[in-house]
Structure 1
Amino acid sequence: MRLASCSILLFFAGVARSADVAPPTGGPPPGEAMKLGERIYREGILPSGEPMMAVAMGDIPVDGRMFTCDDCHQRSGIGSVEGTVITWPTNGKELFIPRRRTGAWKPPRTEEEKRSPRRQLPPYWQQVKDVRPAYTDETLARVLRMGVDPAGRRLDRVMPRYLLNDRDMAILIHYLRNLSVVPAPGVDNTAITFATVVTEGVSAGDRKEMLSTLRAYVDAHNAQSRHEERRAKSGPFFRTERNLAYRRIRLLVWELAGPPETWRGQLEARYREEPAFALLGGLAAGSWAPIHTFCEENRIPCILPITDLPVVSESDWYTLYFSKGPYQEGESAAKYLDRVESLPPDARVVQVLRRGDQAGAVARGFEDAWGRFGRPPPVRRMLGEEEPLSGHLLEELTGSHGPAVLLLWLGPGDLPALETLGKGPDRPKYVFLSSTLLNRELSAVPEAARDRVYVTYPSILPQESGRRLDAVRGWLKSRKVPATDLEIQARIYFLGMMLAETIKHLRSEFFREYFLEGFDMMVDQDYAIAVYPRLTFGTGQRYASKGCYIVQLTKGPAPEPIRKSDWVIH
């Protein structure tokens, strides 16, 4: 109960920083009004629980859940661009001031700016009129209902007209007045504070490799190699916002000790001591779930932690992962069998595994995807902790009327039993293994079984990664960081490359939701990432790797994985 109370206090402390505008008269109290307004804005659900109704394209009645505000204006309210459609900001900071014409000169606000030579511009620049005056509650209600702004201009028909009564409209306007108004904790005029999490149980080597690479990026960012702070003061006026976004980075290392159930309290204590704008990278011994939950409930972005056990969720928003981990391997095996090999509907599938987080994740991934395809659940055969996969057990599993598919979510020590797999007349047509559970020890697969064995491979193939890894090695060498574990170091290298652009994207809008939306708007990445063939981003997408190869192995003592599927199996 104490931890839950701390979490609630952390969240509402952030809300209180922006919720300084009174709620509608006679309406719910401020906290409740913000929750109700947020639900209208994000989900299209009214305080009554009914869906908000709207009219699209001038005359088409639609359920407001189909066209929620944040679909276009984004969760932050800062707006977006889609093709030729520009969606303007709807946050309180921008709605209730006049909007300048795009690209127009903005007059100096401080005495220092007035003395700046770059602010002394020709008169014709200074005479550009505002596009619209500031909104009031009344004109904002009118534009939401009728699509007419304070200047009398009619908005594009792509903007729905919402059918809201006065009370619900007042709640939504109260929410918009307080949306993305005050910058998030962890940022000041000169620095932005990030934290990275390392838990007890992480090896000293992994810890060193992650932190040394992350600190090398921070040092490079703070080195002023492009004179960023000078540019912010004296650069051209049309780059002012982008240049002013530059902040030095302060990196906190939050070390967590003890069992996972105590991590939440430790995180909250660290945050109270010194708030971080977001979490970067990080390593945990075991599941990332306690850190994920802390970030989700306190609305703190967590960017690309290094974990094989992420939380797999369709709705959680604040943690951006590299992939779904082993769960994604199980999903991909199911997709391959259903979409590529087109197994008969009644094909029997057996999964063999021991208790363990990674094996359980692969099995769940397969079961969930298999069920979505309308297939009967696979049979699970659990091995005891000390029970080996023996030839006798394989004979039992693959005897008369044996399975068409055998999924062995086991480690390399169990694979010698596969020697017998090629000898029986009722051997399964497909045997699947996980390269993660094998620790990439592909040579452990007996040659006699390789014609029937398929391996899930959630990374770039080793024969295709050379040039990309060379780029990482070169960067590490230039910063005097030994290249000791490129699996970890290449991920942090990629995180650093993406972070620089995302901070520039923020301009002066240091809001956590907008920070995450900067990653959402990135183009596909296939050059700075050496661990995956491609990473793909999109609105609300929280797993950047969308694929996993299905491979078979060549003969010989050092087998090479050969692709049997595309990276993404549709």
Structure 2
Amino acid sequence: MKGLGKTLILLSAVAACLSLLIVCDATATSASPALSQQQKLKLGERIYREGILPNGEPLMAFVKGDLPVPGTAFTCISCHLRGGIGSIEGGVYTPPTNGKTLYQPLKKIHKGVEIKYGEDPFRRPAYTDETLAEVLRTGTDPVGKILDDVMPRYLLEDEDAPLLIAYLKSLSSEFSPGVTDTTLHFATIISEDANPADTEAMVSGIEKFITDKNGMANNYRNVRTPRDRMMAKAMSTSKELELRKLTLSRWILKGAPETWRRQLEEYNRREPAFALLGGLVNGDWQPIHQFTEENGIPCIFPNTDFPVISDTDWYTLYISKGFYQEGEAVARFLNSKEELLQDTRIIQIVRASREGRALSAGFEETWKTMSHNPPLTISLAKEEQLSDAMVSKLTAKEEPLIILVWDGPDSGRILTALANGKNKPTMVFASSSYLGKNLMTLPEQVRDFTYLSYPYRLPQDKVIDPMMGKAINFQVGDNRVAQQTYALVLTLNMAVMEIKGNYYRDHFLDAIGMSMDRVVPLYERLSFGPGQRYASKGCYIVQLAGGENPQLVKRSDWVTH
């Protein structure tokens, strides 16, 4: 019966293929005439990205010849990526699927050089709508070559194939805004009341990178001897950048945040940017995040401790989750201490501030996913002080107690009251970032039970090159924005090189998502993967050693999310 089932499945696939050949003249028009072109593209996009058909059912596919699987598990985007330019991973080459490539002959290339001799210099002719539907269904290309089994065979009905094909034709078909014949244009967003020192640290770092890259491209254009040209090419980001220089403009936001959207739209209309680099505003980043999502503009590493936390948004890449990530790390650390959690009360004291709310949200939302009961929450208004009587009441019961103090620089007063109370808590957690400069001055009497979330590389730790096994010395400076800009420049340099002249915004983000881990002075590790939006995914749990000039002592490995 198993053999018969496989035979029936294969016969169904063959029948679908034959039905396509019979109605091939109608493939371009088989979609409902009631649908607009935009609606058709959205339906095709859903098939490509999610593996979901217009009727809401999963697209069915076959892998390894005859193994049926839902297309949601083998979506086009999972291999060919969002921009459709393809990838190379684990030695497997995934070719482009954008119409600009598919509807042109595929040239023969040997060691990077195009082969122009012989009767047929092409590996395959340009696809047509019919041959493209054929290869999607049967894995057979226009010259009869059978594609690798890695490529699924999809059961596309006659009314669905044209929708996917129409989307592939539109995918990465024209260079994105911000690209001209002579320039690749970037912008950075700054509010007029942003810290001047931080603004200078960020802008000078980005502008130096752009100046250096433009200088390398000029050298490549101007050298004369083959040897010098080879050296200049090695120093330049890519041959394609000979034709274009990098430029940067500043989008200065003025006034209240509710007016920023109108200003951003005007900047985007007058001088569209291929991508936004960094960014620094005195306020919430959310309005800018929303603008980039709705306009499809990549934004790389804005300087904010309050990023938008989302599993679905695409266009903003944050260097971390900020304060939210510290709360998240405390939840993960406590979850690993199963012996402490039995019959233990957890209380969180939350200051009514952006920092306090973000720390609390990171802890609570992560804690909930681990099937724990929510902590008891005590909220403190902006100027409210936690009285000694309230502290005594919190610790009155003689049972193990864990307290999370999501408060700012004055947290030391609460911690001291807890230390002097009748029943000292088992563990108290606080945020090193929220404590700020008061971190290193916590009273000696609270250090034995106080644990701190610390989202950076420890100051005393050396930075080791993972390839060479040697310490790396960075000349970046102590300014945190300067160090984050250094991470931005490393990421940007790699991405500009890897897109190889394919100036499509989604492909730019795909290139970053496929990049190698980065070693930087500020963070323990920066890494991306396809679809990931946060580069630094970890946090240490530390304690403060004794003495007037204490060091931070690790009490955990790099706790990751």
Q: TM-score range by the shorter chain?
A: 0.7 to 0.9
After superposition, residues 381-420 of structure 1 pair within 5 angstroms as: 381-401=378-398, 404-420=401-417
Of residues 340, 346, 349, the one that matches 1:349 is: 346
Aligned to 1:444: 441
How far does the alpha carbon of each residue in 1:145-165 deviate from its partner, in whole angstroms, 9 at most, with x for none? 111111111111121111111
Aligned to 2:552: 561
Aligned to 1:299: 296
Deviation at 1:230, TM superposition (A): 4.5
Aligned to 1:514: 507
1:274 aligns to 2:271 (yes or no): yes
Of residues 356, 361, 374, the one that matches 1:359 is: 356
Deviation at 1:61, TM superposition (A): 1.4
SS at match of 2:452: strand
Q: After alignment, is 458-467 or 375-384 more displaced?
A: 458-467
Of residues 122, 126, 130, the one that matches 1:130 is: 122
After superposition, residues 443-482 of structure 1 pair within 5 angstroms as: 443-464=440-461, 470-473=473-476
How far does the alpha carbon of each residue in 1:27-50 deviate from its partner, in whole angstroms, 9 at most, with x for none? 422111111111110011111122
CA contact (8 A) 1:405 1:431 kept: yes
Deviation at 1:225, TM superposition (A): 7.1
CA contact (8 A) 2:326 2:431 kept: yes
Of residues 159, 177, 180, the one that matches 1:185 is: 177
CA contact (8 A) 1:296 1:317 kept: yes
User: Closer, same or farther in 2 for the Cα pair 1:225/1:33, shift >3 Å?
Assistant: closer
How far does the alpha carbon of each residue in 1:105-146 deviate from its partner, in whole angstroms, 9 at most, with x for none? 767xxxxxxxxxxxxxxxx76337321111111111011111
TM-score, normalised to structure 1's length? 0.86
Of residues 135, 138, 147, the one that matches 1:143 is: 135
SS at match of 1:412: coil
Deviation at 1:169, TM superposition (A): 0.4
Deviation at 1:356, TM superposition (A): 1.1
Q: After alignment, is 344-353 or 451-460 more displaced?
A: 344-353
Counterpart CA distance in 2 for 1:244 and 1:230 is: 15
Aligned to 1:94: 101
User: Closer, same or farther in 2 for the Cα pair 1:38/1:405, shift >3 Å?
Assistant: same
Counterpart CA distance in 1 for 2:300 and 2:331 is: 29
CA contact (8 A) 1:416 1:444 kept: no
1:264 aligns to 2:261 (yes or no): yes
How far does the alpha carbon of each residue in 1:166-191 deviate from its partner, in whole angstroms, 9 at most, with x for none? 11100000000111011011112221
CA contact (8 A) 2:525 2:536 kept: yes
SS at match of 1:49: coil
Q: After alignment, is 454-463 or 347-356 more displaced?
A: 347-356
SS at match of 1:399: coil
CA contact (8 A) 1:197 1:255 kept: yes
User: Closer, same or farther in 2 for the Cα pair 1:232/1:244, shift >3 Å?
Assistant: farther
SS at match of 1:138: helix
User: Closer, same or farther in 2 for the Cα pair 1:148/1:440, shift >3 Å?
Assistant: farther
Deviation at 1:404, TM superposition (A): 2.0
Aligned residue identity for 2:212? A
Counterpart CA distance in 2 for 1:388 and 1:469 is: 45
SS at match of 2:475: helix
Of residues 53, 65, 74, the one that matches 2:81 is: 74
Matched residue count = 520
User: Closer, same or farther in 2 for the Cα pair 1:103/1:300, shift >3 Å?
Assistant: farther
Counterpart CA distance in 2 for 1:337 and 1:490 is: 30
Q: After alignment, is 81-90 or 142-151 more displaced?
A: 81-90
Counterpart CA distance in 2 for 1:35 and 1:282 is: 31
Aligned residue identity for 1:130? F
User: Closer, same or farther in 2 for the Cα pair 1:30/1:104, shift >3 Å?
Assistant: farther
Counterpart CA distance in 2 for 1:305 and 1:362 is: 19
Counterpart CA distance in 2 for 1:233 and 1:312 is: 52
Aligned residue identity for 2:158? D
Of residues 376, 380, 387, the one that matches 1:379 is: 376
Deviation at 1:296, TM superposition (A): 0.8
Q: Which runs of 5 or more structure 1 residues have no equivalent in the other structure?
A: 1-21, 108-123, 474-482
Of residues 222, 236, 244, the one that matches 2:240 is: 244
Of residues 23, 32, 35, the one that matches 2:39 is: 32
User: Closer, same or farther in 2 for the Cα pair 1:501/1:569, shift >3 Å?
Assistant: closer
Aligned to 2:483: 490
Deviation at 1:101, TM superposition (A): 2.6
CA contact (8 A) 1:317 1:542 kept: yes
How far does the alpha carbon of each residue in 1:387-437 deviate from its partner, in whole angstroms, 9 at most, with x for none? 123433221211115662100011122313322433445222110000111
Deviation at 1:62, TM superposition (A): 1.1
Counterpart CA distance in 2 for 1:385 and 1:146 is: 65
User: Closer, same or farther in 2 for the Cα pair 1:273/1:225, shift >3 Å?
Assistant: closer
Of residues 125, 148, 159, the one that matches 2:151 is: 159
TM-score, normalised to structure 2's length? 0.87
Deviation at 1:226, TM superposition (A): 7.3
User: Closer, same or farther in 2 for the Cα pair 1:229/1:403, shift >3 Å?
Assistant: farther
1:171 aligns to 2:163 (yes or no): yes
Aligned to 1:543: 534
SS at match of 1:459: coil
User: Closer, same or farther in 2 for the Cα pair 1:231/1:314, shift >3 Å?
Assistant: farther
SS at match of 1:523: coil
SS at match of 1:437: helix
How far does the alpha carbon of each residue in 1:431-460 deviate from its partner, in whole angstroms, 9 at most, with x for none? 000011111422332111111000000011
Deviation at 1:270, TM superposition (A): 0.5
Identity of aligned residues (%): 44
Aligned to 1:501: 494
SS at match of 2:430: strand
Q: Which runs of 5 or more structure 2 residues have no equivalent in the other structure?
A: 1-27, 465-470
Aligned residue identity for 1:140? L
CA contact (8 A) 1:350 1:403 kept: no
Aligned residue identity for 2:503? F
Deviation at 1:569, TM superposition (A): 4.5
Counterpart CA distance in 2 for 1:383 and 1:567 is: 31
1:49 aligns to 2:56 (yes or no): yes
SS at match of 2:154: strand
Deviation at 1:223, TM superposition (A): 2.1
Aligned to 2:16: none
How far does the alpha carbon of each residue in 1:279-305 deviate from its partner, in whole angstroms, 9 at most, with x for none? 000112122111111111111100111
Deviation at 1:520, TM superposition (A): 0.9
CA contact (8 A) 1:183 1:511 kept: yes
Aligned to 1:222: 214
Aligned to 1:3: none
User: Closer, same or farther in 2 for the Cα pair 1:445/1:106, shift >3 Å?
Assistant: same
Aligned residue identity for 1:161? R
CA contact (8 A) 1:243 1:504 kept: no
Counterpart CA distance in 2 for 1:490 and 1:342 is: 39
Deviation at 1:545, TM superposition (A): 0.3
Counterpart CA distance in 2 for 1:259 and 1:233 is: 56
Counterpart CA distance in 2 for 1:345 and 1:146 is: 57
CA contact (8 A) 2:392 2:422 kept: no
Counterpart CA distance in 2 for 1:48 and 1:398 is: 58
SS at match of 1:462: coil
User: Closer, same or farther in 2 for the Cα pair 1:342/1:272, shift >3 Å?
Assistant: farther
Deviation at 1:52, TM superposition (A): 1.2
Q: After alignment, is 382-391 or 355-364 more displaced?
A: 382-391
